[in-house]
Amino acid sequence: MRVVLVVHFARAGAEEVVRRAVATLEDSGHVFELRVPEGVGSTPAPDDLGGHVVAFSDPVTEGTDLIISLGGDGTFLRASRLARAADVPVIGVNVGRLGFLAEVETEDLEDALALLGAGRYVVEERSVLTVALSEADGTDRGGGWALNDVAIEKAARQRLVRLEVNVGATPFAALAADAVIVATSTGSTAYALSAGGPIVNPTLDAMLIAPVAPHSLFDRTVVTDLADTVTVRIADDQDGAVVSTDGMDPVALGPGGTVVIRGDQRPVRVARVGEAEFFARVRRKFRLG
């Protein structure tokens, strides 16, 4: 088995977990490399592991079987970018707090690696959202994609932002709020949940539209079909907004700017070992019983 380990070394206990993973993979004769996400909070690998480190942004080597994230949900989301580009399954080991996406706990690491090495896992296809950004004059500001959510947030801390939301060709709502989140079913347990949204089984092809602290009596999350197109326009008299995908790659968009969000046919493939029932994981992660 050829494996890529994506590691957040700044997490408490991460180095010990990585060394356990490396030892298990080496003892089993598997080939592996380490990748450390770049950016804020990034900590390099220890010197004695440096020989295994590959630049995070390099294309994944052909023939790679699996990407394993060791960190929290943020690390998993970064690993998913490598996984989707290479069409390789990704699985997360939770070296953090809640770690809803990173489902393998550290005490189960060796058992999980044995199952993965033996091919005893299933793969779920998780839907993603694509986003296209443009300014009021039509200038293309690029775009991206999200496994969890797209957030359109106020640019000025002291004021709300007014956003016009369309679903398909139909004007749906004009909102004054801190933000509007458009999430996948996978992202229903992330930012959208903290805004009061529902928990949705991640295998459903759905899209959630969740206002954050709206200055309105309407404060409900709307669930629609992933085949719909959601367009969010920043009102002309605003300071603009900041748009991010999975909490990354923020882009400032001016008044009158538009965010167009659609479902995409190319999923993230998530490997699963052991417990397969989603609501059992919800119960365990959120300590509901």
Q: Report yes or no: 73 and 93 within 8 Å, Cβ to Cβ.
A: no
Burial 226-240 (b: 16+ CB within 10 A, else e): bebebbbbbeeebeb
Cα pseudo-dihedral 282, 71, 57, 202, rounded to 10: 0
| CA–CA gap between residue 192 and residue 181 (Å, rounded) | 6
| CA–CA gap between residue 263 and residue 19 (Å, rounded) | 38
> What phi and psi values does residue 25 have, to the nearest 5 degrees?
-65, -45
Active site residue 73: yes
Catalytically annotated residue among 47, 58, 73, 149: 73
CA distance readout (Å), 227 to 129, 134, 218: 10, 21, 24
CA distance readout (Å), 285 to 6, 97, 145, 282: 22, 10, 26, 5
* Residues 6+ away with beta carbon under 8 Å from 48: none
Question: Nearest-5° angle of CA 76, CA 78, CA 79?
Answer: 60
- Between β-strands 90-94 and 104-105, what pairing exists: parallel, antiparallel or unpaired? parallel
Catalytic sites, residue numbers: 73
